Structure 1
Amino acid sequence: MASELAIHPVPGGGAGIPPTVPPGPVPNGATAVAGLSERPRVNGQTGQIPKAGFGSDRPAVAELVFIDPRPAYFAHLEKLVDMDAIARANLQIMVDAMHGSGMGYLDVMLKRAGNRVQECRCHRDPLFGGSLPEPTGKSLEGACQWIKDEGARLGLALDGDADRFGIIDSGGIFIAPNQFLPVLYHHLITFKGLMGPVTRTVATTHMLDRIAYHYGQGVYETAVGFKYIGQNLLEKGCVLGGEESGGLSIRGHIPEKDGILAGLLAAEMVAVHGKSLAELIDDVAAIYGVRLYSERLDVHTTPEQKQQVLEKVKTLDPGELAGEPVIGRITLDGLKLVLKSGEWVLVRPSGTEPLFRIYAESDRPERITEIHNAFKEQIGL
């Protein structure tokens, strides 16, 4: 089990190799490296690693040991999450570990709190049941149906290495990260008293911005990748960092995404407020005066067409889109256009295949398709 393997630091050591696989192809000879600050290295910080002794005759500076990280990790999470409130609520919860390394964590903590836990895919399977261990609405359809049939309060899912989350509300309703993150931010501020700015990726909902501005707080937008979110959690004092792909962390936790923490926070919110997540989403929309809808569209192309679109995006700067004036052009990661209405659209190319991802957000769900189509026409897709 990956979580049982650790590199024990000894004098002279400065980094570790995390025993997880990144979600995409890795260039030949590349290795994921984490420093002792527990933050992924960015901005070329790994450039000196070959000179530091890897593959050389330099004496070893680390020894391999086997540990059980759960007691210390559980104790830390109990400082961040109101486990007593979760215990008092006596929730019926499904935990879906998707055959990944999160087995024995979220389910154990919830059981210890006295909740009725139904385990799903909480056993080892190196083939992950024949599908990708990604907690999306489609991959969790079976769990959604079980929760609906059994009348359970929550479904909490983890991806293969338990750093991303999937949440199912009572009634079997899948809650997308862009729906969950604003409710969590509101909860952190108003219930837990954690006032401060928020950091999000360029593809994540602007509902977070509306909440931040309501309390006079800042918003730090980053390129896609939680390593950038982690930097802001460390350096900007952010209360919450999140991304639309299902990663989050909060102030006081490590600056890396954690699906187990996300699941426990979802349970805390349901427990302390006595409402479903859908009801809490309604409450947040009423408090801040708007409900935003987000959607991602994947568009496959040929390699030749992909290159043509990339060239066009470099200089694209329209005055209007889908009938609305464009008031912002952001090139932090891909091309993002912000409209006067508050709507926005983003296009990002896949780094591994001829594919573009187009994200859009509006306060009217029917506008999403309009914005997608207008933008596709602008960039030649």
Structure 2
Amino acid sequence: MQKIRFGTGGFRGVIGQEFTVEAVQRIAQGLSDMMKAEGAAGPVPIGFDNRFLSDLFARRMAEVLAGNGIVCLLYESPVPTPMVMCAVRDEGCAYGVMITASHNPYRYNGAKLFVKGGADADVAVTQRLEQFTEAVREVRALPEDQPSPLILKYDNLAAYTAHITDFLDAFIADNHLRLLFDNLFGVAVVGLKPLFDRFRIEHYTILHAERDALFGMRLPNPTQQMLEPLKEEVLRGKYDYAMATDSDGDRLGILDEQCNYVSSNDILACLYYYLVKYRGMRGDAVKNIATSVLLDRLAEKLGFACHTVDVGFKNISAKMRETDALIGGESSGGLTCRGYLSGKDSTFSGALFLEMRIKMGKPVSGIVREVHDFCGYHSACAEAELHLPALPDASRFARLQPAFGRETVRFEQLNNNFKWHFSGDCWGLLRLSGTEPVVRVFTEAETEAEALRLLDVLKTAVSGGMA
């Protein structure tokens, strides 16, 4: 029997191989048994994205929970992950589930678990669920595709967008910006289009709003490479900037008016700067270990601290609660703010970025420049993905000795992260994915050339170490 293991973004696997109806039903039975042991009651919101069979997997999940007497709030159409988190919080639920593989390739699907308050389940919770799932000997499910009073149709779009508008400044209504949004065949359009209309954005264009479970045969992730095709459209349409989101609506990517890619590090720093300097808000920042030192230097300049945690947004939201931080984010494009949801949300961050652009009254390139000049920090970051034939053994990476050609000031291992620190706030990082056979490589250095050189050194070390 296949073991169910939850990584930083839930349980994921290739559809029909690791991720199957049987696996989903076992997880649902394990969750039912865990809730019974805890004395936790329903309802359990269950959402799904645009991927192959996501709606069917969500239905099978609901049928097992209902077969155990647990009320389910089942969405009728694809929704962003943060909408489910919002439902868990607003309805006072003990748990919620989202069927998605986030930014992974089309052949993957997965399940994310949320806990009371609308936060990502931490390791203690997912490990407990793994134990209950492994102990399942019988799945109690209702007959397939039959109506049940325990499976309720659910929609909270109005409440979800209201939470976002409550955080925003009404000043952003009636503006004349030209905005280009690439939905990348995902689900963020569900929340963003109503917001564009509500704030009367006069000139906006949405690309790839339709469902395509193949995602146009591209990766549904708003990286620099994925935003490259937007550049010609930005120039032709004279857009003030372009934005894109990942397949389940929790990561954001930006191109400025000159078609320069605005990195996730810069998006996070700009929004933090804006909230403190222009909106008068106060508080620390939280980032993960793969995020630029830019946020540390900016926090210092603003008079606050920046806290670093392991990869996984649940670690960021936990540290935000602990320190009452104002903002938390990661280099992969996810962020949230105090007073909003505990999880990352590209609909929220995209709307907040829009507010920042309007209230600061200058081009996006000018905002980025202002932030870097303010904190006096300029660096270059680089990253890459190395796909391996199987999940790597973490112990082998701890023994690597990359030929960096510069002195290593400090070596740091944080779970599946291996980080080499150099002088001048420069560093290199190897991050082992918890959900797929991939090693992610990150570097930051004084120049782009040096960041790329360090990247090549680490890639070579990984290739040699896996031989």
Residue aligning to 2:261: 174
2:423 aligned partner, one-letter code: K
Task: Please give the alpha-carbon distance, in whole angstroms, between the structure 2 residues aligned to 1:163 and 1:51.
Answer: 29
The question of whether the paired residues in 2 share the 8 Å contact of 1:321 and 1:339 is answered with no
Task: Please give the alpha-carbon distance, in whole angstroms, between the structure 2 residues aligned to 1:253 and 1:96.
Answer: 24
- Give the % identical residues: 25
- The equivalent position to 2:311 in structure 1, one of 224, 246, 258, is 224
- The equivalent position to 2:173 in structure 1, one of 75, 84, 87, is 87
- The equivalent position to 2:198 in structure 1, one of 109, 112, 136, is 112
The question of whether the paired residues in 2 share the 8 Å contact of 1:167 and 1:263 is answered with no
Task: Please give the alpha-carbon distance, in whole angstroms, between the structure 2 residues aligned to 1:24 and 1:340.
Answer: 35
Residue aligning to 2:9: none
When residues 93 and 51 of structure 1 are mapped into structure 2, their CA distance, relative to the original with a 3 A threshold, is same
Structure 1 position 302, deviation (Å): 6.2
Structure 1 position 355, deviation (Å): 4.3
Residue aligning to 1:73: 160
What is the TM-score with the length of structure 1 in the denominator? 0.85
When residues 371 and 57 of structure 1 are mapped into structure 2, their CA distance, relative to the original with a 3 A threshold, is closer
When residues 107 and 211 of structure 1 are mapped into structure 2, their CA distance, relative to the original with a 3 A threshold, is same
1:249 aligned partner, one-letter code: T
Residue aligning to 1:17: 97
* 1:231-380 superposed matches below 5 A: 231-300=318-387, 310-315=394-399, 321-327=404-410, 329-351=412-434, 355-375=438-458, 380=464
Structure 1 position 340, deviation (Å): 2.2
Superposition RMSD in Å:
3.4
When residues 131 and 365 of structure 1 are mapped into structure 2, their CA distance, relative to the original with a 3 A threshold, is closer
Structure 1 position 378, deviation (Å): 6.1
The question of whether the paired residues in 2 share the 8 Å contact of 1:222 and 1:332 is answered with no
Structure 1 position 343, deviation (Å): 0.5
Q: Deviations over 1:278-330 (max 9, x none)?
A: 111111111111212111033456669x65xx545324589x94324514534
Residue aligning to 1:2: 78
What is the TM-score with the length of structure 2 in the denominator? 0.70
Structure 1 position 186, deviation (Å): 0.9
Task: Please give the alpha-carbon distance, in whole angstroms, between the structure 2 residues aligned to 1:39 and 1:378.
Answer: 37
Structure 1 position 81, deviation (Å): 1.6
2:449 aligned partner, one-letter code: E
Q: Deviations over 1:182-206 (max 9, x none)?
A: 1111111111222111111111111
Structure 1 position 376, deviation (Å): 5.1
Residue 35 (structure 1) aligned with residue 115 (structure 2):
yes
Structure 1 position 21, deviation (Å): 3.5
Structure 1 position 102, deviation (Å): 1.8
Q: Deviations over 1:49-102 (max 9, x none)?
A: 57699867799xx933223322212221112122x3322432111122222222
Q: Deviations over 1:222-256 (max 9, x none)?
A: 11111111212222211111111111111111110
* Greater mean deviation of Cα atoms: 323-332 or 164-173: 323-332
When residues 12 and 89 of structure 1 are mapped into structure 2, their CA distance, relative to the original with a 3 A threshold, is closer
Task: Please give the alpha-carbon distance, in whole angstroms, between the structure 2 residues aligned to 1:31 and 1:186.
Answer: 34
1:39 aligned partner, one-letter code: A
Any gaps of 5 or more consecutive residues in structure 2? 1-76, 143-148
Residue 45 (structure 1) aligned with residue 125 (structure 2):
yes
Any gaps of 5 or more consecutive residues in structure 1? none
SS of aligned partner of 1:76: helix
The question of whether the paired residues in 2 share the 8 Å contact of 1:322 and 1:374 is answered with no
- The equivalent position to 2:182 in structure 1, one of 83, 96, 115, is 96
When residues 33 and 311 of structure 1 are mapped into structure 2, their CA distance, relative to the original with a 3 A threshold, is closer
1:370 aligned partner, one-letter code: R
Residue 149 (structure 1) aligned with residue 232 (structure 2):
no
The question of whether the paired residues in 2 share the 8 Å contact of 1:33 and 1:41 is answered with yes
The question of whether the paired residues in 2 share the 8 Å contact of 1:360 and 1:368 is answered with yes
Task: Please give the alpha-carbon distance, in whole angstroms, between the structure 1 residues aligned to 2:389 and 2:213.
Answer: 33
Task: Please give the alpha-carbon distance, in whole angstroms, between the structure 1 residues aligned to 2:237 and 2:195.
Answer: 22
The question of whether the paired residues in 1 share the 8 Å contact of 2:328 and 2:337 is answered with yes
SS of aligned partner of 1:186: helix
1:125 aligned partner, one-letter code: D
Residue aligning to 2:223: 136
When residues 13 and 79 of structure 1 are mapped into structure 2, their CA distance, relative to the original with a 3 A threshold, is closer
When residues 221 and 66 of structure 1 are mapped into structure 2, their CA distance, relative to the original with a 3 A threshold, is same
Task: Please give the alpha-carbon distance, in whole angstroms, between the structure 1 residues aligned to 2:371 and 2:346.
Answer: 23
Task: Please give the alpha-carbon distance, in whole angstroms, between the structure 1 residues aligned to 2:115 and 2:265.
Answer: 30
The question of whether the paired residues in 2 share the 8 Å contact of 1:144 and 1:174 is answered with no
Task: Please give the alpha-carbon distance, in whole angstroms, between the structure 2 residues aligned to 1:365 and 1:372.
Answer: 10
1:129 aligned partner, one-letter code: G
Structure 1 position 351, deviation (Å): 4.4
Task: Please give the alpha-carbon distance, in whole angstroms, between the structure 1 residues aligned to 2:289 and 2:220.
Answer: 25
- The equivalent position to 2:289 in structure 1, one of 188, 202, 217, is 202
Residue aligning to 2:46: none
When residues 158 and 298 of structure 1 are mapped into structure 2, their CA distance, relative to the original with a 3 A threshold, is closer
Task: Please give the alpha-carbon distance, in whole angstroms, between the structure 1 residues aligned to 2:102 and 2:211.
Answer: 20
When residues 357 and 133 of structure 1 are mapped into structure 2, their CA distance, relative to the original with a 3 A threshold, is closer
**Aligned pairs, number:** 370
Task: Please give the alpha-carbon distance, in whole angstroms, between the structure 2 residues aligned to 1:174 and 1:12.
Answer: 39
* Greater mean deviation of Cα atoms: 171-180 or 347-356: 347-356
